[in-house]
Every structure is written in C-alpha cells, then in structure tokens.
C-alpha cells in the first residue's frame, strides 16, 4: 500500500514543489527514487540456484536505503544492531541511548546544510562526552574517555522531514591506570561510579 501511494503521488508532489520554488534536498529525491526501484526486477536482479531443491530464482536488487523503505530499513537496523553488539561495544560496558530532537528551523537548516548538521553533531558529542568525562575527573579518575555511535535520522514515522540524532553511548568511562599500564572500566551510576 505504501509503495502504491508513493508511486502515484511522487511525480505530482515533485512538480508542485518545483513550481513553488521550494525544492527538496537531493537526499530526499535519492531516497524516494531508490525506494520506487527497490525489489522491482526491471531495475536489476541476481539469479540464485539451489543445488538441493534444484530451483532457479530471480532476486530483485534492494535499495539498501536508510530513509523510509520498510524492508531495507528493518534489515539494516537488525544487521547494525547485531554488529554493534558483537563487534563494537565492549562486553563489560552497558550502553545508554540519547536522542536529540531539534527545533523546526534547525531541522530544516540541518537537512539542507551538511556543515550545520556536522556542527550540531559535534556539539552533541562534545556535551555528552564532556558530562561523563568531567564527572569522572572530579572523582579523581585519570584520563577518562567514553565512546559513542551516532546515527542521523532524517524522517519521522509520518515520513516528514525531521532531522534528529540517535546516539548509543557507553554508560561510563575508561580511565588510564598508570601504575598497571592499562585501562579500567568505570560504570556510571546515579550515585557515582562503579569500577570493574
């Protein structure tokens, strides 16, 4: 149903926006155009052969988009979550999700201006990392460092342009232990820090 709605309305929406001199950012055009080609055999496919059942199938290429393609978005989300858990986040470190929503004017600015979006991202990372690291320094932890993985989301659930940031932060810090020549993990808790 979503595909039919977008396919029928997209040419009209595009034309009306261009006539009003309110063009959409290029990434919006790329996302929608890729979504309309996703899973359509006419736009490319791979042939797969099963030696067990002796079947030959054509599998259409997907858009691999991060915008609003439900199929590709769900697959990417599951794959990325598994990769983060298995390969990126340390076993001993719990994580906490932070979300930054922006005022409407700033959302539009970040959607059209990559430098503004990068600046907001740097301010967010600096502020939250600073929170963890300055608290750890006040408690006497030497050279504390935290880590995070940040995702920029460009749409909301209603497919409206809504630039916002999802960040998964290590909920604590690593600090250098000069006497032992190694780092130690210190978990952030509401009442203080717990070292492991």
CA 171 to chain CA mean position, Å: 19
In percent, the amount of the chain with pLDDT more than 70 equals 93
Sign of the C-alpha dihedral computed for residues 143, 148, 152 and 158 taken in this order: negative
User: Can you tell me the distance from the alpha carbon of 85 to that of 168, in angstroms, rounded to the nearest whole number?
Assistant: 11
* 165, two tokens: 């940031």
Residue pLDDT, tens place only, 15-29: 888 887 767 777 778
Residue pLDDT, tens place only, 128-172: 999 999 988 988 888 999 999 999 988 776 667 889 999 999 999
Angle (deg, nearest 10), helices 104-112 and 114-138: 120
Tell me the domain boundaries of the chain: 1-88, 93-196
> Is residue 74's pLDDT more than 60?
yes
């Amino acid at each position: 149903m979503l595909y039919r709605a977008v396919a029928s309305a997209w040419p009209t929406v595009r034309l009306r926006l261009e006539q009003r001199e309110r063009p959409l950012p290029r990434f919006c055009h790329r996302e929608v155009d890729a979504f309309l080609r996703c899973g359509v055999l006419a736009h490319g496919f791979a042939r797969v052969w099963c030696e067990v059942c002796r079947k030959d199938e054509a599998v259409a290429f997907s858009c691999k988009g991060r915008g609003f393609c439900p199929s590709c978005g769900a697959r990417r989300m599951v794959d990325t979550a598994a990769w983060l858990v298995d390969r990126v986040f340390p076993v001993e470190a719990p994580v906490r999700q932070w979300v930054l929503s922006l005022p409407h004017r700033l959302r539009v600015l970040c959607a059209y201006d990559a430098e503004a979006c990068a600046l907001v991202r740097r301010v967010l990372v600096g502020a939250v990392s600073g929170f963890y690291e300055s608290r750890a320094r006040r408690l006497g932890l030497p050279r504390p460092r935290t880590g995070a993985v940040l995702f920029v989301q460009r749409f909301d659930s209603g497919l409206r342009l809504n630039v916002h940031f999802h960040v998964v932060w290590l909920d604590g810090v690593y600090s250098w232990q000069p006497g032992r020549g190694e780092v130690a993990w210190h978990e952030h808790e509401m009442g203080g820090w717990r070292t492991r």
